[in-house]
Structure 1
Amino acid sequence: MGGKVNKLLLPLDGKPVLTYVLQLMEISPLIKGWVLVVPPDQLNVFFHLAVEKRECKKLLKVVPGGVRRQDSVWAGLQELPGQTKVALIHDGARPLARTEDIAKVVEAARQWGAATLAVPAKDTIKEADAGDFVGQTLPREKIWLTQTPQAFSYQFLLEAYFWANKEGVMVTDDATLVEALGRKVKLVMGSYENIKITTPEDIIVAEALLKKRELTYMPRVGIGFDVHRLVVNRPLVLGGVIIPFDKGCEGHSDADVLLHAIIDALLGAAGAGDCGRHFPDTDYRYKDISSLILLKQTAQIIHNAGFSIENIDAVVVAQAPQLISYIPLMEENIALTLGIEKTLVNIKAKTTEGLGYCGRGEGIAAYATAFLHVRKQGCCFKGDEV
């Protein structure tokens, strides 16, 4: 942009431009790990921003880029795990991409092998001749302006880069490289708001779009539900409190049914998936883990997505034991873990008068609602894993 400061570090509504992309990578449950490729002479600066200041948990590595864009992408691709199915390439100068953009382009890549976000051209496109006169007018209805993220079969993209490096082929984006090998790239409808920060005027436009999003996405409400079977030889943990009882909830973690419902409600309100996506019961790291730790990590996800918690209301459904005396401690645990006032957390306990699996003492269920308020840019998401 003509200045000495890297454009990714320029302030956008009070935060560096790259911060919005870091948030996008972290909030999306589709993305399990990602690599940040940066200018070699600013490696420490970006490491501080992403790791020390923003505490990006999914970030695998910060690596130095190359002279050309494709050299930088190649450096990043080599750091991804070998079992990666889909590789997503995103430009750090596009801070307004959304998680639904990731979902759409990844879905298309899974179906077609290669996909890019793009938008139809609004203006008439002229091709210039050598003397800067109009050489020809291109048919606008066939012109699309490509954006990022772009998504590809990881193995196919690796093969394409091996070929490009061997043959000395130079391209301006990854879709062009794939096209050069004769592979079709699916165009996925993007958004005209997904602008690239290139000039000072782009910062002004991006800030206006961010403020529009704040006004558009004010209140967010999520609903959570969970149920666990009661079994012997397990402690009963509810709201982070060990309840004296002859049975406990069966589960991979500590099976805290109340906290799991609250986690689902919080993630649902943020449009960030659910408990199972972030903390799957197939992951040994979560074996017998305290759900207060999972709630703490959920709070970070909510914060990174730009939300603040306004209210949590939950009900535990159990025929036995009586829980009323433990509720104040549950509320205190939840509020302390989330970093909010205790008055914002309300827990209730109900029986079913002997009806159903809860009434028969076979299990315990919990329902929760969460109300979030948008602080900055929010994200919505649906998807699986990249």
Structure 2
Amino acid sequence: METKEDISCAIVVVAAGRGERAGSPGEGPKQYRRIGGRPVICHTLDRFATWAVETGQKPIFVVVIHPDDEALFENARASLTAAHDMIVVHGGETRQRSVLAGLKALTARQPSHVMIQDAARPFVDHDMLVRCQEALAAGHAAVLPAVAVADTLKRADSNSHVTETVSRAGLFGAQTPQCFRFDAILSAHEGAALSGRSDFTDDASIAEWAGIPVTLVEGSPDNFKLTTQRDIAMADQILSQTALPDVRTGNGYDVHQLVEGDGVTLCGVFIPHDQKLLGHSDADVALHALTDALLATCGAGDIGDHFPPSDPQWKGAASHIFLEHAAAIVRERGGVIMNADVSLIAEAPKVGPHRNQMRANLAEMLGISLDRCSVKATTNEKIGFVGRREGIAAIATATVVFRG
């Protein structure tokens, strides 16, 4: 008998389906619909990733997607909250072919076991995964989480007339992840493909066909598959009621040297002055700091990554370009900008007379209301480089709520 520590378990997430019953084609495949503010597939992947962290494992993920969904998946991937060692492959015309593609992608890694999961089951729970893992460690080659059928079952004829009541004894509803010894299920899938059969509805049925004993473990009634539009709406309601809001705060700091000149630009406002700020762009230290703050809320690097000072195209550029670019990145990743706060540290010029225009500029650049924009200024009490009027510094804070 193996222990849980002896098992190297890969995760194959099947996400190549079209989901015709989940709504109109214009709404996209169900695995990319948003529930609780994030795509369905992100919830599914993160459930496994957090389970792996809890149990001290480092599984490799194989995500099988439709060839037409590469952009959808990459956009969804940005909403993952946990780290994943991931391979992405294209699926086939049927679920059976898609799973085989996912398994073949693992041959170089040779895990001892594999869990095969439907992307549209976002409520898989950690306790059930532990039960599956323990059953694999006990030596079972195939493990199927299942829930006993509770409803009375009827058989009907082609005219929808009931012909008999079917006994529920020994009947179970199969769920995923369906878990297997890797070499056994890969061989079974390859055998099924060679046989020409393509009517298997799940991986456990392929294991049964190949003569692999399948052992049941207790599933979870909450681990339902999202099939219809109503399922997606219900899942969204569940997650919206239970999920903590994803509120993130980013900080930015920037400083630019003052040299002899005729004025400075701060928050997009040109203020006449006997000095100017030195920089590759217009050196708007306030907007640079705020750009970094926004990028920080989604781990998108800093202003130098997006607008290198070595690039001649940004020489003398207006810094609102940088801030608006950062705001667009935040929105593309599901963020809603809630607040922007800038503190300027300078001995001169005076910021107070220009503060309202600065706030109005921030509101326009970020597409938020004026009351969500704050600009403050202070001197450095003649201490340090700021006190000696050698430079101006800015500290910025941005608050963003992410909804996927």
Asked if residue 145 in structure 1 is aligned to residue 166 in structure 2, the reply is no
Q: Report deviation, 1:3.
A: 1.6
Q: Report deviation, 1:211.
A: 5.4
Higher relative contact order (CA 8 A, sep 6+): 1
Tell me if the contact between 2:36 and 2:243 (Cα under 8 Å) persists in the aligned partners.
no
Q: Please point out which of 218, 234, 238 is paired with 1:205.
A: 234
Q: What is the 5 A alignment of 1:107-122?
A: 107-110=134-137, 111-122=139-150
Q: Report deviation, 1:85.
A: 0.7
The one-letter amino acid paired with 1:96 is: F
Asked if residue 45 in structure 1 is aligned to residue 72 in structure 2, the reply is yes
3-state DSSP of counterpart to 1:141 = coil
Matches of 1:188 and 1:211, distance apart in 2: 30
The one-letter amino acid paired with 1:93 is: A
Q: What is the 5 A alignment of 1:135-174?
A: 135-170=163-198, 171-174=200-203
Tell me if the contact between 1:34 and 1:61 (Cα under 8 Å) persists in the aligned partners.
yes
Report the TM-score, using the length of structure 1 for normalisation. Answer: 0.52
3-state DSSP of counterpart to 1:186 = strand
Counterpart position of 1:24: 47
Q: Can you list the C-alpha shifts for 1:35-64, whole angstroms capped at 9, x where unaligned? A: 1111111123213422x4537642331111
Q: Report deviation, 1:6.
A: 1.2
Report the TM-score, using the length of structure 2 for normalisation. Answer: 0.50
The one-letter amino acid paired with 2:204 is: A
Q: Report deviation, 1:125.
A: 1.4
Asked if residue 89 in structure 1 is aligned to residue 116 in structure 2, the reply is yes
Q: Can you list the C-alpha shifts for 1:61-115, whole angstroms capped at 9, x where unaligned? A: 1111111001110111111144301110000101111222222112223331101
Q: Please point out which of 216, 219, 227 is paired with 1:187.
A: 216
Tell me if the contact between 1:89 and 1:149 (Cα under 8 Å) persists in the aligned partners.
yes
Q: Report deviation, 1:9.
A: 1.4
Q: Please point out which of 26, 30, 34 is paired with 1:7.
A: 30
Counterpart position of 2:204: 175
Q: Report deviation, 1:17.
A: 1.1
Counterpart position of 2:264: none
Unmatched segments (≥5 aa) in structure 1: 216-374, 377-386
Matches of 1:91 and 1:137, distance apart in 2: 31
Q: CA 1:20–1:202 in structure 2 vs 1: closer, same or farther (change >3 Å)?
A: same
Tell me if the contact between 1:34 and 1:58 (Cα under 8 Å) persists in the aligned partners.
yes
Tell me if the contact between 1:25 and 1:34 (Cα under 8 Å) persists in the aligned partners.
no
Tell me if the contact between 2:50 and 2:82 (Cα under 8 Å) persists in the aligned partners.
no
Q: Please point out which of 225, 228, 231 is paired with 1:196.
A: 225
Matches of 2:30 and 2:157, distance apart in 1: 32
Matches of 2:96 and 2:156, distance apart in 1: 27
Tell me if the contact between 1:124 and 1:137 (Cα under 8 Å) persists in the aligned partners.
yes
Q: Which has the larger radius of gyration?
A: 2
Asked if residue 66 in structure 1 is aligned to residue 92 in structure 2, the reply is yes
Tell me if the contact between 1:147 and 1:190 (Cα under 8 Å) persists in the aligned partners.
yes
Q: CA 1:76–1:140 in structure 2 vs 1: closer, same or farther (change >3 Å)?
A: same
The one-letter amino acid paired with 2:190 is: F
Counterpart position of 2:304: none
Matches of 1:74 and 1:134, distance apart in 2: 39
Q: Report deviation, 1:131.
A: 3.8
RMSD: 2.4
Q: CA 1:195–1:141 in structure 2 vs 1: closer, same or farther (change >3 Å)?
A: same
Q: CA 1:44–1:210 in structure 2 vs 1: closer, same or farther (change >3 Å)?
A: closer
Matches of 2:236 and 2:71, distance apart in 1: 27
Q: How many residues align?
A: 216
Counterpart position of 2:133: 106
Matches of 1:128 and 1:197, distance apart in 2: 26
Matches of 1:37 and 1:69, distance apart in 2: 10
Q: Report deviation, 1:212.
A: 6.2
Matches of 2:238 and 2:196, distance apart in 1: 40
Tell me if the contact between 2:49 and 2:82 (Cα under 8 Å) persists in the aligned partners.
yes
Q: Can you list the C-alpha shifts for 1:258-309, whole angstroms capped at 9, x where unaligned? A: xxxxxxxxxxxxxxxxxxxxxxxxxxxxxxxxxxxxxxxxxxxxxxxxxxxx
Matches of 2:79 and 2:242, distance apart in 1: 25
Unmatched segments (≥5 aa) in structure 2: 1-21, 245-400
Q: CA 1:180–1:124 in structure 2 vs 1: closer, same or farther (change >3 Å)?
A: same
Q: What is the 5 A alignment of 1:169-318?
A: 169-170=197-198, 171-210=200-239, 213=242
